[in-house]
Copies of this chain bind each other. A is one copy, B any other.
Amino acid sequence: MTNMHPPLRNDRFLRALLRQPVDRTPIWIMRQAGRYLPEYRATRARAGSFMDLCRNPDLACEVTLQPLERFPLDAAILFSDILTVPDAMGLGLSFAEGEGPQFARTVRGPADIARLGVPDPEDDLGYVMEAVRTIRRELGGRVPLIGFSGSPWTLATYMIEGGSSREFALAKGALFSDAPWVHQLLDILTESVAQYLEAQIRAGAQAVMIFDTWGGSLNPRHYKEFSLDPMRRIVERLPREFDGQRIPVILFTKGGGQHLEIMADTGCDALGLDWTQDITDARRRVGGRVALQGNMDPCALYADPEHIRAEVTRILAGYGQGSGHVFNLGHGVHPKIDPEHVAALVEAVHTLSAPYHLGT
């Protein structure tokens, strides 16, 4: 099946992740298929709930492709949610309107752990794999497709707390209590995420990203043990080549700027940077080993196109000459952003980045 895919017509994103020469800095945008697009809101309304949209491969494909119709983005990202894995473990995920995610069942001790198994990606998360296959086919080689998962620690916080949390009282309380079941939970999640991402790669994902949304909430000791180490084990497990192509792995710990060196040590290909990091400093620290993805503050898109262009100019100059930079926001695009401002961003990155790639 895999050799049926047409050749990739725009490989800037994959080349930049591997620090190979490119003509322009590639750009994609976290949550590029999202509520700021009226066509997304229309499909979402047709689908029913947010999870109904995630579980419908044809509609997931439709919304994945919507931003590519509007903007000359250099990558597509699977439309899904980071919490599909714990949902497949039987925790019962739902999204109340205007609220964050909610689990019907939580994991707060050994008895809960005993009920958890590693989901089979094709049996238990078949809708995701089908979405990956559908999107890859419909992309027809326009741009590469990114697969993704939440990090084990990030998934664990939601499973323990039962939903979003500001303080992670229960999850971090368990870490400070050295509760053995937390280690077991992270082991199960590490295995589950590794299998899930490998299955996405086999289904057609051409790069994968691990979203560690809540690793930055940990102290450095806990970060290394409970957030970074599971991600390192996943990176080591993943096939680094598939169908004759290198499959880059991107790690993104929001608020993890101080950890870039040890993140690069995992063997990943690229690091996501949130906007609180200085990209010049990040490149100096780890740019010889990994590519960097980021890192414009999503709030810059509230400004007018002229000011967006000014911020793009600063970030491109901050990274400097040569490949190894994938432009992105430092976090997902906000729902109230004007799509015209996103158009201005993409245009600015492509136009203003050309001089940084001359003669490379």
Contact = CB atoms under 8 A, between A and B. Distances in A.
Interface in A27-74: none
Contacts of A169: 299, 302, 334, 336
A117 interface: no
Most buried by B among A255, A275, A276: A276
Nearest to A300: B176
Interface stretch (A85-93, A194-202, A215-223, A242-250): A215-223
A307 interface: yes
B276 A172 contact: no
Contact of A219 (B220, B276, B302, B308): B276
Contacts of A218: 276
B220 A299 contact: no
Contacts of A124: none
Contact of A172 (B258, B302, B314): B302
A114 interface: no
B334 A172 contact: no
A176 B298 contact: no
A178 interface: yes
Nearest to A220: B278
B276 A173 contact: no
A217 B276 contact: yes
Interface residues of A, number: 36
Nearest to A177: B303
A347 interface: no
A334 to B, nearest CB: 6
- Copy count, this protein chain: 2
A298 to B, nearest CB: 7
A311 interface: yes
Interface in A163-210: 167-170, 172-173, 175-178
B307 A168 contact: no
Contacts of A307: 176-178
Contact of A276 (B220, B278, B303, B314): B220
A334 B167 contact: yes
A304 interface: yes
B314 A221 contact: yes
B255 A258 contact: no
A297 interface: yes
A344 to B, nearest CB: 13
A257 interface: yes
Contacts of A278: 220, 258
B176 A297 contact: yes
A172 B220 contact: no
A293 to B, nearest CB: 16
Most buried by B among A176, A177, A218: A176
A330 to B, nearest CB: 8
B258 A176 contact: no
A303 B170 CA distance: 10
Interface string A147-169: 00000000000000000000111
Given A172-B297, A176-B300, 7 more contacts: A167-B299, A168-B299, A169-B336, A175-B299, A176-B302, A255-B276, A257-B258
12 contacts: A169-B336, A170-B302, A172-B297, A172-B302, A175-B299, A176-B303, A177-B303, A177-B304, A220-B278, A221-B314, A255-B255, A258-B278
